[in-house]
Amino acid sequence: MAQYHFIAGDGKTYGPYSQEQMQQFMAENRVNAQTQVSADGGAWQPASQHSGLASGGASPVPATLGIPAAPGLPQPIAVNPGAAQAAVNGPAIFMMVLAGLNIAFALFSLVMNLFFGGLGFAAAPSGGGQEEMIIQAISGVVGNICGIIISTLILVGASKMRKLQSYGLAMTACILSIVCCTCCIGIGPGIWGIVVLCKPEVKAAFH
């Protein structure tokens, strides 16, 4: 099913909407035959040139009749990529910086665990001492690797968030920043990011 965007009289882009919703807008004279419409991100054309809309059989109704919008029909959301990007920049940059620092720290800690774990294993007496050193070293290495993976996901998600791409990954990065932070610093930008991403005008700007 095609998804449509249209340019309203105020010059703003609205969408996406289904074929049925667009036909309803045409019936309410919120969209007319000359309104510029794009289907599935394609070229902009008058609504009358889109077969899916022209065949809907919905005839424009004069605006002077004041017919209200159909109950339950979502109101158009203005898509303003510039404003949306400005809104997500703050939390996204904050999370990217924290994720980068966490990755650097985890890599350093991983090297230290491998190096000193090896020295401790060599110096430990055979038997129980060596087994304990192995368990400690493995636990440290696994923790470091998990930290690197999580921080990388946050870094990638925050980067996508700045570009208004992959809404799901951006939201995941915010949640991971809250749940998996090693200190309280990551909670703030994570909550900030979720609040911004939940705004309809920001969500509509993602692609």
Is pLDDT of 38 > 90?
no
Q: Is the pLDDT of residue 66 over 70?
A: no
119-149 burial, b for 16+ CB within 10 Å, e for fewer?
ebbeeeeeeeeeeebeeebeebeeebeebbe
Q: Is 52 helix (H, G, I), strand (E, B) or coil?
A: helix
What is the average per-residue pLDDT within 133-150? 84
Q: In terms of residues, how long is the chain?
A: 207
196 vs 79 pLDDT, higher one? 196
Lowest-confidence pick of 28-32, 98-102, 178-182, 194-198: 178-182
- The whole-number pLDDT of residue 155 equals 94
Distance, CA of 180 to CA of 169 (rounded, Å): 15
- The predicted-structure confidence for 126-141, as pLDDT tens digits, reads as follows 555 567 777 777 888 8
Compute the mean pLDDT over every residue in the chain, rounded to the nearest whole number: 79
Whole-prediction pTM: 0.58
Residue 126 has a pLDDT of 57
Question: 61 pLDDT exceeds 70?
Answer: no
**Tens digits of residue pLDDT in 87-123:** 999 999 999 999 999 999 989 988 887 777 665 555 5
Domain positions in the chain: 4-79, 81-205
Say which range, 52-61, 112-121, 175-184, 197-206, has the weakest mean pLDDT. Answer: 52-61
What is the spatial distance between Cα 133 and Cα 139, in angstroms, rounded to a whole number?
10
pLDDT tens-digit readout, 3-31: 888 887 777 788 888 888 888 888 877 88
pLDDT band, residue 148 (cuts 50/70/90): very high
Q: Which residues pair with 6 in a beta bridge?
A: 14, 37
Tell the burial category of 11 from Cβ atoms under 10 Å away from its Cβ (0-12, 13-18, 19+): exposed
